[in-house]
Amino acid sequence: MSAALSTALGGAVIAGFGIAAPFWLNAVSNFGVIGALWWWRSLPRTSATLPAERFMNAVVTGIRYAKHNNYLRATLVRSVGFFLFASAYWALLPLVARIQIAGGPELYGILLGAIGTGAVGGAFVLHRLRAALGPDRLVAVGALGTAIALVLFAVADDVATGLTASVIAGSSWIAVLATLNVSAQLALPEWVRGRGLAVYMTVFFGTLSVGSILWGKLATLIGLPIAHLTAAAGVLAAIPLTWRWRLLSGAPLDLAPSLHWPAPITEGEIEHDRGPVLVTVEYRVAPQDRNAFLNVLSKLARERKRDGAYAWGIFEDIADSGRFVETFHLPSWLEHLRQHERVTNADASCNLRSGIFKLAAFPK
């Protein structure tokens, strides 16, 4: 909602005070943000039992988590499929106002304000649309609306057509953006939410930047109308191409720490940097459940890697029918302890706890 309001406000300011005015207002407003950050103090967290992660290790952990989290990956794929093509009208709007409709900064401000107005209007009906359509269909409808807006921008040679395209573009933009934002947040547990959202925002703004370069270059080569029509075709093609990547909706996963793994039993104190650590998990499986067990465990492998493991494997004891041994490595004893805290209740529901025979860790 704030992005929609700021777009509408920016358009109104440009129309009333010129193209430079929003930049001055934005610069001044940042002093309020700086002041809030300066005086803000987070509440102490008494639940932390392990030392804080080092900066670079925390970055790597966040990227690894995003790579192995299927729900976040789905959100990222859908984001690229939409924003790469939707960035066309954002990048080319000044040229539409100046060249196609023969206006100036005031007209650009009016068109920008119309996009914001459309986004604000769309935000008021967004909840009902999400309940009726679900997140995947809502993103598809937003993509379809964006394609219609791009076609209108391609043929716009008067103010009325440009305003109509802008309102449709704004309402479609907020429908897709809000749905993807919710999906990204619901896919992340508290301990990695900031880093996961940083990955999402990097993909979001990175795709907009790449798209702006692409559509600007294409408009130079083939003209504004054809560039808009090409973007419209692309955003439509992305709907079926990305459909299998399902988004999360208002039914969040239970991502609270489960803490169901037993505490490691050691003979003495183990240094945090000691490693690598080999973890083994033994299972007893009935013969008739073998194939189902292996299918579930293949999904569990992604969870292990997401939480820091590498060199994952599963082995069957040919001398003891029904005995399976899962193995994986972690870089250090500290990372093994962190893994205990990262397992969520959603993970625990598919962790085959009833089949675990023994869990052991062997630091080098």
From residue 252, alpha-carbon distances to 24, 68, 182, 236, 338 in Å are 40, 18, 10, 29, 23
pTM over 0.85: no
Which residue type sits at 273? D
pLDDT for 300 equals 82
Phi and psi, residue 316, nearest 5°:
-110, 130
User: Mean pLDDT over all residues of the chain?
Assistant: 85
Higher-pLDDT residue of 355 and 73 is 73
State the Cα–Cα distance between residues 308 and 332, nearest whole angstrom: 10
Quick: pLDDT tens for 171-189. Answer: 999 999 999 999 999 888 8
pLDDT for 199 equals 94
Residues in the chain: 364
Residue where the block lists tokens 């940083």: 198
Residue 353: pLDDT band with limits 50, 70, 90: very low
From start to end of 160-250, where are the E strands?
none
Quick: pLDDT tens for 233-252. Answer: 999 999 999 999 998 766 56
Q: Nearest to residue 192, comparing CAs of 85, 103, 65, 340?
A: 65
- What value, to the nearest 5°, has the Cα angle with vertex 93 and ends 121 and 90? 65
State the Cα–Cα distance between residues 137 and 143, nearest whole angstrom: 10
The upper half-sphere exposure of residue 307, i.e. CA atoms within 13 Å in the direction of its Cβ, equals 19
Q: Which domains does the chain have, with CATH numbers?
A: 2-40+50-241 (1.20.1250.20), 277-363 (3.30.70.100)
Residue where the block lists tokens 């299918």: 295
Looking at the chain, the whole-number percentage of residues with pLDDT higher than 70 is 86
- What value, to the nearest 5°, has the Cα angle with vertex 106 and ends 104 and 111? 100
- Measured over the CA atoms of residue 253, residue 258, residue 260 and residue 263, the dihedral's sign is positive
Higher-pLDDT residue of 112 and 259 is 112
Residue 22: pLDDT band with limits 50, 70, 90: confident
Quick: pLDDT tens for 319-335. Answer: 888 899 989 999 888 88
Quick: pLDDT tens for 263-308. Answer: 777 777 888 888 788 988 888 888 888 888 888 888 788 888 888 8
Please name the residues in contact with 85: beta carbons below 8 A apart, sequence gap of 6 or more: 146, 150, 211, 231, 232, 234, 235, 238
Q: Of the ranges 62-66, 141-145, 201-205, which one carries the lowest mean pLDDT score?
A: 62-66
Cis check for the bond before 276: say yes or no (omega within 30 of 0): yes
